[in-house]
Structure 1
Amino acid sequence: MIQLLNDISLSPISLSEQGKLLQLMKEIYPPVYSHLWMDKGEEYLTDIYSKENLKAEIMNPDVYYYFIQYKKETNGILKVITNENVPGANDNDMVKLQRIYISPALQGKGIGKQLIRWVEDAFCKEHSLPLWLEVMDSQEKAINFYEKQGFVKFNRFKFSSGRMKEEYRGMYRMIKSIN
């Protein structure tokens, strides 16, 4: 258990918790993202949070995957990948904030901001490694949040999934320099 603040902590996700992970994501993902998908994201969630996929992710020594607890309740996930570079960037060493999902009921409470600060401190600051992420270009609220945290748009690309509605496949890669 990693204590960030009195009310926020992180707990590493283990393979035995795959069912808990899938159930959590079926609760917190659809209210914000189901409109992007032809099937409301069901197949995406089942694939991404399958036992096989989780095993491959947590076996990678560069992957750090956590449940987010707020007031001792599990309310989200955080996944960080070290040694993961932005396609098209010249930097060889970067850190990717791959997944940060928090229950919609808790958004706006400063949890995301604290998590990003922790990722910067834990993975980026010692070697001044840039932090980057990918965000849907239709998610203005998320883009504005990341810009407030110091991220800037680096490039655009299209998410390649036949299950996602064509008009929502646009994404930005955003980078934050860490000093």
Structure 2
Amino acid sequence: MKISIDKVTINDIQKLREIGRSTFYEAFANVNTEDDMKDYLEKSFSEEKLKTELNHKDSQFYFARVDGNVVAYLKINLGEAQNENIDNAVEIERIYVLKAFHGKKVAQVLYQKAIDIACEQGVRYMWLGVWEENHRALRFYEKNGFKAFGKHAFWLGKDEQTDLLMKKELAHSNELKTS
């Protein structure tokens, strides 16, 4: 299975909206109320919000494709786009993969893309927030060397949830290559 990575452009907004909504729903619908999911999906994946995010100079989106089909995506934030004020860092805001492609190294390929960008930027840290109940994602990030360093609130509809903040110090060498 060959995985290709493409930068998302404003012309891809409908495909981004579709993969964003699909992957988030697959990941969290069974552990949240229908109303909270509907509210979150409508607000977070509206065309207007995605256009704003895509046009932000410090945010980047990438699709992972298998056989030409989008199966996952990555969103990273630099500088002012980061959700927390962490100096000398790049934030992985989202890595979401369709369930049919879990365990097929798609997330690892997207993660490596994020590492490559962080190294190009010359930052010292990569960081992210992950829901404390998302055990699959926690295992993935721990396996890749991330350590918890704090928490913040994440609202899904009317439900306040807790994200663990995790970060990894980067060595900026070829040893970072995982693919």
Among residues 38, 42, 45, which one is paired with 2:41 in the alignment?
45
Q: Secondary structure at the match of 1:77?
A: strand
Q: Give matches, 1:139-178, under 5 Å.
A: 139-161=134-156, 163-166=157-160, 169-178=161-170
Percent of aligned pairs with the same amino acid = 25
Correspondence for 2:74: 78
- 8 Å CA contact retained: 1:134, 1:172: yes
Secondary structure class of the residue paired with 1:150: coil
* Amino acid paired to 2:17: L
Residue 105 of structure 2 is aligned to residue 102 of structure 1: no
Q: Which letter maps to 1:100?
A: I
Partners in 2 of 1:47 and 1:165 — Cα distance? 14
Q: Determine helix, strand or coil for the equivalent of 2:64.
A: strand
Residues 125 and 24 of structure 1: CA distance in aligned 2, closer, same or farther (over 3 Å): closer
- Greater shift in the superposed pair: 10-19 or 63-72: 10-19
Give the deviation of 1:88 after TM superposition. Answer: 7.0
Alpha-carbon RMSD = 2.2
Q: Specify whether residues 26 and 55 from structure 1 end up closer, same or farther in structure 2 by C-alpha distance, changes over 3 A only.
A: closer
What SS is found at the alignment partner of 2:104? coil
1:13-162 aligned within 5 A: 13-38=8-33, 39=35, 41-83=37-79, 87=84, 92-124=87-119, 127-161=122-156
Q: TM-score, normalised by structure 1?
A: 0.83
Question: C-alpha separation between the residues in 2 aligned to 1:18 and 1:126?
Answer: 26
Which whole-Å deviations, capped at 9, do the CAs of 1:15-59 have from their partners, x for residues lacking one?
A: 333222222233322222113433261221221121211121111
Q: Distance in 2 between matches of 1:53 and 1:175?
A: 26
Residue 128 of structure 1, CA deviation: 4.3
Q: 1:27–1:59: structure 2 CA closer, same or farther, 3 Å change rule?
A: closer
Letter of the 2:119 counterpart: C
1:9 matched to 2:7 = no
Unaligned runs of 5+ in 2: 172-179
Aligned partner of 2:141: which letter? Y
